[in-house]
Amino acid sequence: MRSRFVLAALAVALPLTGAAARELRVGYSADIVTLDPANHRSRVTEGVIHNMYDAVLTRTVDMKVVPEIAQSFRQIDATTYEMRLRPGIKFHDGSPLGVEDVKFTFDRLTKDGAMEGKTSPRKSLVGPLAETEIVDRLTVRFKLSAPWPVFPAYLPFNQVVSKAYVEKVGSDGMATRPMGNGPFRLVEWRKGDSVILERFPDYYGGASDIPPVGPARIDRVIFKIIPEPASRVAALLAGEVDLVDELPHHAIKQVEANPRTKVLKSNGTRSFFIDFNTTKPPFDKVKVRQAANHAVDRKLVIDKILNGLAVPLTTLISPDSFGYNPNLEPWRYDPALAKKLLAEAGYPNGVDVTLDVDNPFKEQAEAVAAMLTQVGIRTKVQLWERTALTELWKDPSKHDRNMNFRSWGDGALDPVGIFVPVLKTKDRGNFSGYSNAEVDRLLTAADTEPDQAKRSEYYQKAQAIIREEAPLLFLWLPQDVYGASRRLVDWEPSPRGIIKLHRAALAD
């Protein structure tokens, strides 16, 4: 009886084992919204698109910007850049990729109403790019209306499309039937379920600075959307997928212990911090803010709550970022000093404050609150929905809340994408109400400074001021954690957070 049951179960289970030899499956945590590179603002979507489309420039694993479909790329003057196209690149339909396609791609991104009357939501990601000019058969010039030194750093975000194809199928067609130039081409997009890609045999090989150069080494790639972390882990352990993103911390030991799977990590690009409302007491006083920064044992929270998977921050800039100042003294955990600073600021008996947070970060916020309370900054944690919190904190002079636990992501790893919005006076992400004329001056100068060494110097100076004035409670930068099958080789994660599988291979 029992054996009959097992036999029946086996018969039902059989079709599972017929998988193709070199098929790589990715358990992906979030749903993608489109396959048109110019029509979204979603990083998870971009991650899938990168396997189908290449850009003018790309980044190495250690975040260096290098040419991708460009053979060379140079800056001519403060507002002009020139690329030379690598000859012989083909689109998935076999047509050659020419300079007209490059121009069309950037016109579609920058011109208002270029997408059937609508404007690309990625327009800001090419900065003040005004004109894209064809110089000759292989040369394109990018003319900016104002200096924007991070132009090359943002080019990897924008992939090149085929002019003829977009004109044929329109933006609606591009959303669901993409036709790219990347290492893989689309087989089928099952909405909400999976994206199935196959190797493009005529691929030109990818960035010549990132070996090995050549067509993809696997035949098929499948991005399978599995939003629930526990199910993603289960799929990895069951051998249904070979790579998962956003591996939950509690599963790390289990994945490491399994002989068939391994854990991969990389620094992320999202800094965590707490806004002080610097427009109102008690956090209008620098010493109270410094006291709070000395009251938090970052290492303890990282070890106990974040499983050691984060680096403590001295300001809000990642150590991997351009312009990072390595000479600033990290915040020392020193409750006695914190109490002393608090007393000097006029709060010898402590002070009662609120800390706002949304549900996913409740535990971390409570740990921080407990430490603040120990030195006399008696902190009450309140839970909100993130969107409501953002709305509330937009203008700190209009509310009486004291602290806001949040994060800011910066995929380009350049202070222009994090320092400026969060700490420049009245900028879009400045919720602390912080305003310092010297910091503003340095950030504005860096915005247009063509000399990268000088730019870096401006940012480093600005960080030194921020370290002293502590407008935020600087916390940590978590790592991105992936789980992978041991079969997966030649793929490592990078701070970009993008799973590009062109060079990945499967052992055995």
Partner 1 sequence: MRPSALLERLLQLVPVLLGIALVVFLMMQATPGDPVELMLGDALATPEQREALRRDMGLDRPLPERFLHFLGNAATLDFGQSFHHRRPVADVILERLPATIELTLAAMAIAIAVGVPLGVVAAVRRDGWIDRLATILGLAGVSMPGFWLGILLILLFSVQLGWLPVSGRIGFGAEVPPVTGLLLVDTLLAGRPASFLEALRHLLLPAVTLGLAMAALLMRVTRTSMLEALRQDYVTFATAKGLPRRRVLIRHALRNALTPTVTVAAIETGTLLGGNMIVETVFGWPGLGRLVVEGIFTRNYPLVQAAVLLYAVTYVLLNLLADVLQTVLNPKVRL
* Chain positions contacting partner 1, by CB under 8 A: 9, 12-13, 15-16, 18-20, 23, 25, 31, 33-34, 36, 39-42, 112, 118-119, 121, 123-125, 127, 154, 171-172, 175-176, 188, 190-194, 196, 220, 222, 224-228, 230-231, 234-235, 237-238, 240, 387-388, 390-392, 408-412, 416-418, 421, 428-429
Closest CB to partner 1 among residues 217, 232: 232
Which DSSP letter does residue 153 get? H
Which DSSP letter does residue 487 get? T
Cα–Cα distance measured from residue 201 to residue 214, given in angstroms and rounded to the nearest whole number: 9
Strands (E), 29-170: 57-59, 65-67, 70-77, 80-85, 129-136, 139-144
Closest CB to partner 1 among residues 338, 416: 416
Q: Give me the least distance between CB of 319 and partner 1, in Å please.
A: 19
Closest CB to partner 1 among residues 194, 456: 194
Cα–Cα distance measured from residue 420 to residue 418, given in angstroms and rounded to the nearest whole number: 6
Closest CB to partner 1 among residues 235, 371: 235
Closest CB to partner 1 among residues 351, 420: 420
- Asked if residue 450 has a cis previous peptide bond (ω within 30° of 0), the answer is no
Beta bridge partners of 198: 185, 220
Q: Give me the least distance between CB of 39 and partner 1, in Å please.
A: 5
Q: Give me the least distance between CB of 445 and partner 1, in Å please.
A: 18
Number of H helices, E strands in the chain: 15, 21
* Residue position matching structure tokens 């909405």: 191
Closest CB to partner 1 among residues 225, 475: 225
Which DSSP letter does residue 250 get? G
Pairing verdict, β 488-489 and 377-384: unpaired
Cα–Cα distance measured from residue 309 to residue 77, given in angstroms and rounded to the nearest whole number: 42
Q: Give me the least distance between CB of 384 and partner 1, in Å please.
A: 10
Strands (E), 359-469: 377-384, 403-409
Closest CB to partner 1 among residues 175, 311: 175
| Residues 6 or more apart in contact with residue 124 via CB below 8 angstroms | none
Q: Give me the least distance between CB of 31 and partner 1, in Å please.
A: 7
**Helix extents (H) in 426-503:** 437-448, 452-469
Q: Give me the least distance between CB of 404 and partner 1, in Å please.
A: 14
Q: Give me the least distance between CB of 11 and partner 1, in Å please.
A: 9
Q: Give me the least distance between CB of 262 and partner 1, in Å please.
A: 17
Q: Give me the least distance between CB of 386 and partner 1, in Å please.
A: 9
Signed CA dihedral, 314, 319, 322, 328: sign only: positive
Closest CB to partner 1 among residues 127, 206: 127
Closest CB to partner 1 among residues 225, 274: 225
Q: Give me the least distance between CB of 48 and partner 1, in Å please.
A: 14
Cα-Cα end-to-end distance for the chain? 38
Q: Give me the least distance between CB of 411 and partner 1, in Å please.
A: 7
What are the Cα distances from residue 311, in Å, to 61, 306, 338, 361? Answer: 19, 10, 22, 17
For the stretch 50-59, what's the b/e string if a residue is b when 16 or more beta carbons lie within 10 angstroms of its beta carbon? bbbbbbbbbb
Closest CB to partner 1 among residues 42, 435: 42
Cα–Cα distance measured from residue 298 to residue 306, given in angstroms and rounded to the nearest whole number: 10
Please say whether the beta carbons of 27 and 232 come within 8 A. Answer: yes
Closest CB to partner 1 among residues 157, 347: 157
Closest CB to partner 1 among residues 25, 339: 25
Structure tokens at 87: 């000859």
Q: Give me the least distance between CB of 87 and partner 1, in Å please.
A: 32
Please say whether the beta carbons of 106 and 67 come within 8 A. Answer: no
Closest CB to partner 1 among residues 151, 204: 151
Cα–Cα distance measured from residue 264 to residue 321, given in angstroms and rounded to the nearest whole number: 21
Cα–Cα distance measured from residue 420 to residue 441, given in angstroms and rounded to the nearest whole number: 11
Beta bridge partners of 353: 379
Strands (E), 243-350: 243-244, 261-267, 270-276, 310-312
Q: Give me the least distance between CB of 433 and partner 1, in Å please.
A: 18
Q: Which amino acid makes up residue 49?
A: I
